[in-house]
Structure 1
Amino acid sequence: MSEQASASSASSASLESSAGALPASFEYGDLTSGEIFWRDHQVWLHEHGYLLRPRFLPGSLARAHWVDDPRNHAVPILETLEVPDDKHITIIVMPLLRKYCQPRFDTFGEAVDFFSQIIEGVKFLHDHNIAHRDLNGLNIMMEGSKMFPDGWSPHHPKLNRDFYSGRARLYTRTQRPPKYYIIDFGISRQYDTRDPPPLEDPHRGGDKSVPEFQLTEAGEAPEPCDPFPTDIYYLGNLILHDFVEGHPDYEYRNRLRGFGFMRDLAKDMTAPDPAERPTIDEVVEPFAAIRRSLNFWTLRSRVVKVRGFPDPRRPLRHWCLRIGYILRRVPAIPSYQ
């Protein structure tokens, strides 16, 4: 996949890899004389693994590419706007998203839904030979419009859209399930084949701990490596740091209690030797088994931090709300679909 920044390319004839095409749910103006060449050669370019921006595509191809598959958790592109007074700039319009963990997860069932969606999203990418190459917690976000029916302030997500009239009204993830999205495809790539595995020079993203990116014992630069096991490491490390063990630098702030059921799988995913890590297909099956093993009360139970000052009123409020869910037969594991 070409860099996401290529959508803001300096030339109207710039190309994106076929995995990086922008969904076209809108119409463009007439093509200029200089653009007709690209329209007429789009089939030939597509055969060689490149897809032109939707402006140059036949409508059926543009609408059919990528877009409506529910397994797709890549952030959607709603529209592109060409700046009239600067041909070198294109504005990309995306949904307003929130950090995936804000507000906090209320129940274990909500967290299990998060794991399910992100594993599904990574599998979708890998099934299309796309390696994200920077799957850290900052690049996974949440579409929260159902949870926040009146919106929120982009400057301060806990407040109303106008920023000064109070806290934003919200529902829990159980009441209004969100969809989680993978963002920032700036260093992502799509490959023609994974047999033999593609080898890429290390490109360090937000998570600097990738074992295969470290200097050798002799201080030499690391060798080119397969980016797909690195994606698995990123995902496993996110689960370890944000749920199971806490980040080594911020353990006091974000370590949660009770996620030991994900430890063994996350440890396998973060094996120091990339060859020993499971593929995403080999993650799906054991995770499904973990999901099936969690009982009703675990899934309904409240997620709490290891440290902090407990509020004795919170468990009572929690179970009063949960009993209401049970009586109304609201699923313990939410589903955005």
Structure 2
Amino acid sequence: MAYIYTQFQDTREWHDLISEWKDAPQALEHVLSYNGNIDHDIFLGKRTTQEIFWVQLQPFLYSRGYNLRPRYHPDWLPSWRNHTKPIQTLDEFEDSLAHIGTFMDATRISDGSKVVIKIVQTRRKEIPIAQCLSSPEAMSDPRNHTIPIFDILPLPNDDSEALMIMPQVLHFDPPGLPFTRLGEFHEAVKQYIEGLEFMHQHRISHRDACYFNLMMDISKVIPKGLHFMRPETHDGVTFGVEWKKRWSVRPVKYYYIDFGLSEHYPLDAPYETITGLNGQDRTVPEHLLTSPYDPFKADVYQLGNVILHVVETYDGLDSFLPLGTAMTRTNPDDRPSPSEALKMLKRFNWWVLRRRVRQKEFSLQEQPRLRFLGGDR
């Protein structure tokens, strides 16, 4: 215990903690006797450099209508500090969940909705493309299935980065929340293809229309919402999530996210072809060539590969194989346009859409955990 004390006693923060929490060393020693792996800094209320960045932004964000979790308020003190019973773990304290990465969750003060804040570089094209896709005119088009942008806030005293604020959404095929009817997957595929049709009509190529950039709105599927840092819970503490089958609450909204690689080609000029690797999918045939290629047709391939992947992990989705196969043809000119792909989807009748499907056992083990908007730049 002496080592632990010495490790922190020279820092101003440690002295502040000791003056405010005189039993901190004894409390930490007690917790370590039950759980030797507990993070000392987190227990003592020490926030990382990344977290301090958000702590400093909290007053600014609050003034703009967004409230961070209590942990990121400047005057925060650990809630377990005044706990009347001996502490064995911090799992029961929501404010022990430390943040890592360039995304942060918050609450929109006006309506209490959960949002995600992403740090974006102002020199990149992501901001103008996202603004274009979230304009009132663009949002009025029912084919627009790109994530709506609530706000873009320039960082105070830093014009190189800005904060992009979006609704909190969930990956479209998370473990524990599988598709249960063919029509549920049909609804998702239809919206994603419509989204490509919409973007391409506006001369925007996503260039990363891949598995981890496809999300869904959970407001009807999981009415209580999910905790951003611990999505196996509603509140960050109590494990277990109540959810409804998508078929019972349809229609469910699906979204594209992440326009960090996207390109916008002016309507009055021919779009330029590009070269090189793009996005998560490294199997796009054009990416292996040194010659320029059509980015719109590469988008079709990427989404087609997602369809094939999901079909492979479910029993009962084989009827989507012709669509996925057509969208992933080696020759880009042989792939259907989004409009043609939508026509292929019209062949599914009502009785087919009602069929039950089942996720294969191996995919339940291999899939990533519930995933929110997240990840590092």
Q: TM-score category by the smaller chain?
A: 0.5 to 0.7
Question: If the length of structure 1 is used for normalisation, what is the TM-score?
Answer: 0.65
Distance in 2 between residues matched to 1:226 and 1:23, nearest whole Å: 21
Kept in 2: contact 1:74–1:121 (CA 8 A):
yes
Question: If the length of structure 2 is used for normalisation, what is the TM-score?
Answer: 0.59
Asked if 1:70 corresponds to 2:142, the answer is: yes
How far residue 84 of structure 1 moved from its aligned partner, in angstroms, is 2.6
Distance in 1 between residues matched to 2:345 and 2:141, nearest whole Å: 22
Kept in 1: contact 2:301–2:328 (CA 8 A):
yes
How far residue 200 of structure 1 moved from its aligned partner, in angstroms, is 0.9
- 1:300 aligns with 354
- 1:233 aligns with 301
**SS of residue matched to 1:185:** coil
Distance in 2 between residues matched to 1:111 and 1:304, nearest whole Å: 12
Pair 1:15–1:121, CA change in 2 (3 A): closer
User: Structure 2 matches for 1:9-158, cutoff 5 A?
Assistant: 9=122, 19-21=129-131, 64-102=136-174, 103-158=177-232
Structure 2: gaps spanning 5 or more residues: 1-117, 365-377
Corresponding letter in the other structure for 1:120? E
Pair 1:111–1:15, CA change in 2 (3 A): closer
Distance in 2 between residues matched to 1:286 and 1:229, nearest whole Å: 17
Deviation readout 1:136-168 (Å, 9 max, x if unpaired): 1101111112222111111232311x2222312
Asked if 1:259 corresponds to 2:317, the answer is: yes
Q: How many correspondences in the alignment?
A: 244
Corresponding letter in the other structure for 2:330? P
TM-align CA RMSD = 2.9
Sequence identity (%): 32
Structure with greater proportional strand content: 2
Kept in 2: contact 1:71–1:124 (CA 8 A):
yes
How far residue 203 of structure 1 moved from its aligned partner, in angstroms, is 3.1
How far residue 194 of structure 1 moved from its aligned partner, in angstroms, is 9.5
User: Structure 2 matches for 1:170-319, cutoff 5 A?
Assistant: 170-177=243-250, 178-193=252-267, 198-215=272-289, 222-243=290-311, 245=312, 255-289=313-347, 291-292=348-349, 295-296=350-351, 298-307=352-361
How far residue 229 of structure 1 moved from its aligned partner, in angstroms, is 0.9
How far residue 240 of structure 1 moved from its aligned partner, in angstroms, is 0.5
Distance in 2 between residues matched to 1:200 and 1:115, nearest whole Å: 26
**SS of residue matched to 2:163:** strand
How far residue 76 of structure 1 moved from its aligned partner, in angstroms, is 0.9
Kept in 1: contact 2:219–2:225 (CA 8 A):
yes
Distance in 2 between residues matched to 1:279 and 1:157, nearest whole Å: 36
Kept in 1: contact 2:233–2:240 (CA 8 A):
yes
Structure 1: gaps spanning 5 or more residues: 25-62, 216-221, 246-254, 311-337
Corresponding letter in the other structure for 1:169? E
